[in-house]
A and B are shown apart, each in its own frame.
Chain A
Amino acid sequence: MPETAIHVEGLGKRYRIGQYEKYRALRDTLTDAMYAPARMLSALMSGKRNGSGRGANYFWALSDVSMDIREGEVVGLIGRNGAGKSTLLKILSRLTEPTQGRARIRGRVGSLLEVGTGFHPELTGRENIYLSGAILGMRKREIDRNFDAIVDFAEMGKFVDTPVKFYSSGMYVRLAFAVAAHLEPEVLLIDEVLAVGDAGFQKKCLGKMDDIAGTGRTIIFVSHNMAAVQNLCTSAYLLSDGRVAASGNTNEIVSQYLKEVSSVEQKPLSERTDRHGSGKIRFEKFRVLSEGQEGFAVFGNDTRLLISYTASAPLRNVHISMGIYTPFGQAAAYLSNELVGKFFEEAPREGVFECRIDKLPLIPGTYSVNVFCTVNGVIADYVKDAARFTVQDGDFYGSGKLPPKDYGAVAVRHDFDLLTGV
């Protein structure tokens, strides 16, 4: 029976509202002090004690969280944004103290909260390996021993003595991850660092994580990518509003999370503010039409995806693309006007992009769409998870049958014959 690596008991963290980003200027403290007598008086009048901690000025990012993780377990930590995942990791990596409760960790803790921690642009790759390694908690002789492996892993070759400010962003990320991946702590906390680099490098990173997990290290993995969580983790915890909502078998927890996520109402696209890009164009509405019906798609039906936009001026050279993701966060399809050789050299101030898909090959389920648009080669609008739509059961194959679940997101049109006497 392996020993307990991480034991968490009734952990809670309280933040003062506004304490997060703001730093205080002396002025604020002085004003606070000026108003303090008045505040105390009103508190006395209303009979409440000031600073009891449960008042309106505080919120609990984490409350009464308990967990037990044994050595060698790879545990997924999932939950919506603001559920307390990052706060928990911050407490476990001792970046911030809990307000109540306790945790006991057996072994050195390495955290990959962000790759490239401690990199200095003026220093060379070699120097940064040592600096970043030391900051992440490696001993110099450990770095010495792993140096060649790190350089190899990062595929940096002869650039090892070039200042990293001259590196391409891909090279920078590769080096940063390589250093972090060669940490040798007993407990590793990972917060979605895998969303970096190109596909080949990511494959390598996942392989490396698999290696690490195989050596009996304990890993807590925070991610929104359910496919990665399911692939890597032996069990999972679902956090919701700072509490442990469920824990246990990864697949069960993941499906519970997906239920929680899909039950949340989405803001209409036109009201979304989490956009990127120059704003030359603005996506207003996303619609799905399926052979005359609107609001959902049907497996195997001819489908139209419509994106309405507005722009402040007529546009030239517009490219639009959409990424379609499964509820597990896996990319299912990529649609773009470029791919099909249609070019929009001019576009009016208002219009609708129409994307037609013959006999929709997406397996029934809920999908999320990223929409992305460039004008003259510059990102003009980009909304992640801009809209969701469901694909309902339909007769894609013309046989009245549906493929079994969990065999991919996309159906492939195919045929069979039995050849005899060949």
Chain B
Amino acid sequence: MPCFPPNGRPRPLDIDMSFVFHYPTMDSALTKDGSEKPSIRSDDIPVFDIRPTSGWRLLDVRELWSYRELVYFLTWRDIKVRYKQTALGVIWVLLQPVAMMALFTIVFRRVSGVSPDGIPYSIFTLTALLPWQLFSRAITDSTTSLVTDQKLITRVYFPRIIVPISTVLAAIVDFLIASILLLAIVVYYGIPLHAQIIWTPVFFVLMIVAALGTGFWLSALNVEYRDVSHTIPFLNQFWFFLTPIVYSSSIVPDRWRFLYSLNPMTGVVEGFRWSILGTAHRPDNVILPSVAVAIVLLISGTVWFRRRERTFVDIIGSGSA
């Protein structure tokens, strides 16, 4: 229904008249703008079938690929918006890990008493902090992502899984920037590069798999149970200390070792340390369980997300639409 303009000011007469004539008729002289008339391309018109679906589904990779530009724009938005109105801007990406590294070096160097393989404790920590920060940021942001973007998902169709994916991608961009810092410090301390550095991409992928899998689970759960977002702060804390960041996993007693390595971030962190810092031998005993768990997380997270996404709009509500 046409309505009064929603402002409370006593209005001058000219505005009043405009609201009286809310809807001009089509046959009155209409201003046509000069833009080119869009025309329908008759070639390859897609056909969409809409019907009730049920059961478990995996990812529709082809559809996801056709939405790659949207993934790009959402990631770009997340990055762009994060550092708006900050004086330091993207420097924060470097400042955060450095500050934490300094803090942990001061607090834990004595306590943990480790400086394994003669590597300075600060680098030992920083190598773990970068993947951890990616993971932590990814799960924090993706948990609330669907709810934050509810205006989008209740108005426009796109594969919903894009939303948590783009938050993880935004975290990856931060990670890549921060890795330049790590590289600089490694060079500064004169730590020799080993051949095993070619394994780094493998652990990079493992890290992303773990972050996506966890992100899918938490974001889908948070749509239904907002409790999830309240658990994130201490989930982060727990997980931080369950991951060998400020200490080495070698201090974990052998009988707990397997259970301990079920944390996918254990494998990620130890893997990064091994490949970048060139520690003695590959800690396969912690990496392999982590890899297995990360893959299980990703597949189960995807399937769960895909199952629950049908009801997201119904649960979140449609606002005014």
Contact = CB atoms under 8 A, between A and B. Distances in A.
Interface of A: 15, 19-21, 23-27, 29, 86, 90-109, 111, 113-114, 117-118, 120, 122-123, 127, 130-131, 134-137, 139-140, 146, 149, 152-153, 182, 184, 186, 191, 194-195, 198-200, 202-204, 206-208, 210-212, 214-217, 224-225, 227-228, 231-232, 276, 319, 321, 323, 325, 329-331, 333-334, 336, 338-339, 370, 372, 374, 377-379, 382, 384-385
A412 to B, nearest CB: 15
A53 B7 CA distance: 45
A149 B35 contact: yes
B314 A102 contact: no
Given A120-B81, A225-B23, A204 B31 contact: yes
Interface string B23-39: 11111101111111111
Nearest to A102: B51
Contact of A231 (B26, B32, B319): B26
B62 interface: no
B13 interface: yes
B81 A123 contact: yes
22 contacts: A19-B314, A20-B317, A86-B321, A90-B318, A92-B50, A95-B318, A98-B51, A107-B40, A108-B46, A122-B84, A123-B77, A135-B73, A140-B69, A203-B24, A217-B40, A224-B1, A323-B3, A323-B4, A339-B16, A374-B9, A377-B8, A379-B7
Contacts of A109: 48, 157
B161 interface: no
Contacts of A108: 45-46
A152 B34 CA distance: 9
Main SS class of interface, B: loop
Main SS class of interface, A: mixed
Contacts of A331: 2, 19-23
Nearest to B320: A114
A20 B313 CA distance: 9
Contact of B45 (A86, A186, A329): A186
Nearest to B21: A199
B53 to A, nearest CB: 6
Contact of B47 (A29, A104, A319, A333): A104
Interface of B: 1-4, 6-10, 13, 15-28, 30-40, 45-53, 69-70, 72-74, 76-77, 80-81, 84-85, 151-158, 223-227, 310, 313-321
A103 B49 CA distance: 6
A103 B310 CA distance: 16
B16 A98 contact: no
B26 A93 contact: no
A101 B51 contact: yes
B226 A23 contact: yes
B320 A225 contact: no
A319 B33 contact: no
Given A319-B10, A323-B4, A199 B30 contact: no
A330 B310 CA distance: 39
Contact of B156 (A136, A202, A225): A136
Nearest to B223: A23
Nearest to B45: A107
Given A91-B50, A206-B26, A137 B225 contact: no
A120 B82 CA distance: 12
B298 to A, nearest CB: 24
Contacts of B38: 182, 184, 212, 215
CB-based closest 4 A-B pairs: A149-B35, A207-B30, A199-B18, A94-B157
Given A122-B80, A206-B24, 18 more contacts: A24-B315, A25-B225, A94-B157, A98-B52, A103-B49, A103-B50, A104-B49, A106-B45, A106-B47, A135-B152, A149-B36, A227-B23, A227-B25, A228-B23, A231-B26, A323-B19, A334-B16, A374-B9
